[in-house]
Every structure is written in structure tokens, then in C-alpha cells.
């Protein structure tokens, strides 16, 4: 396994992964997956020997960095690939030096995964695209 994560200037492989995981697998309505933030986001791409297998997008909102649209192909979940992707995202945002916190909206089943990375859930559970979510935060 030769996993690599990078910031990419070509978001098309990221969009293809999101289509496969969120739209096809999780049945997120297409109109809810795509938004104007894709045009201003920092897109991360995780590959294994050049094959795309995970992505996330980073948005800067004042003194907060938001990590979103995190996905890994089903065949690679539970292998540490998602944690590698998240550690890269956290390090990339922390290196900016101007952010006070990181935020994300976690699918409720994945809260434990994000807690292991240092995030804390807050607020009530809510529905996003038919999937239960909770907001999470990490102070920098």
C-alpha cells in the first residue's frame, strides 16, 4: 500500500469519488452534493499507486477551517486510509497559522472515527441529505 495525499488543482478525480460514494452508494441527491463551495475549496486527493481512492475538501471561513466531503472507497474503509486523509487535512489547515479551530459535519455513525482524531461533537443530531449528522469541532 503506497498511499499518498496531496492538494490537487484538478478536482475531477475528487468529484468522481464523491459521486461514487455519496450519490451512488449513499443515495445523496445529486443537487445536494454539488454546491458553489467546490469552486473555492482546497481539494485533497488520496491515491494508492496513482489510483484515486479518497478525497476531502477544505473551506476557510474566517478563523475556522471546515473539512467536508470526506470519503474513501468502500474497499479501503477500515484500513487507516481515512485517518491518513484526515491527518493530512488537519496538518494542512494547522500549517496556515491563522485558524483557531477546525469544524466538520460528521455522519453520526462516524463520530467515533473523528473523536479519535481530536474532534468533539456538539449540538443536536440533524438530517443532512437523509443521513443523520452532528457538528464537530477541534481547537487549534
Domain spans of the chain, in order of start: 3-139
Contact status, residue 103 vs residue 126, Cβ threshold 8 Å: no
What's the pLDDT score for residue 97? 95
Contact status, residue 117 vs residue 88, Cβ threshold 8 Å: no
* Secondary structure element (H or E) that encloses residue 91, with its range: helix 81-96
How confident is residue 2, by pLDDT bands cut at 50, 70 and 90? Answer: confident
Task: Tell me the mean pLDDT in the region 42-66.
Answer: 97
Residue 129 has pLDDT above 70, yes or no: yes
Residue 1 has pLDDT above 80, yes or no: no
How confident is residue 136, by pLDDT bands cut at 50, 70 and 90? Answer: very high
Residues with Cβ within 8 Å of residue 125, at least 6 apart in sequence = 108, 132, 133, 134
What's the pLDDT score for residue 3? 92
pTM of the entire structure? Answer: 0.94
Name the class of domain 3-139.
alpha beta
Q: What mean pLDDT, rounded, does the chain reach?
A: 96
Contact status, residue 73 vs residue 17, Cβ threshold 8 Å: yes
Task: Tell me the mean pLDDT in the region 111-139.
Answer: 96
Amino acid at each position: 500500500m503506497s498511499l499518498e495525499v496531496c492538494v490537487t488543482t484538478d478536482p475531477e478525480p475528487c468529484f468522481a469519488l464523491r459521486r461514487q460514494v455519496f450519490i451512488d452508494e449513499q443515495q445523496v441527491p445529486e443537487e445536494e452534493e454539488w454546491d458553489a463551495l467546490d469552486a473555492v475549496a482546497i481539494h485533497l486527493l488520496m491515491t494508492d499507486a496513482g489510483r484515486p481512492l479518497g478525497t476531502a475538501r477544505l473551506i476557510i471561513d474566517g478563523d475556522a477551517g471546515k473539512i467536508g466531503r470526506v470519503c474513501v472507497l468502500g474497499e479501503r474503509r477500515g484500513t487507516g486510509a481515512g485517518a491518513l486523509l484526515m491527518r493530512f487535512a488537519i496538518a494542512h489547515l494547522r500549517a496556515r497559522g491563522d485558524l483557531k479551530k477546525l469544524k466538520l459535519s460528521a455522519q453520526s455513525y462516524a463520530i467515533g472515527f473523528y473523536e479519535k482524531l481530536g474532534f468533539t461533537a456538539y449540538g443536536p443530531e440533524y438530517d443532512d441529505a437523509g443521513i443523520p449528522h452532528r457538528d464537530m469541532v477541534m481547537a487549534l
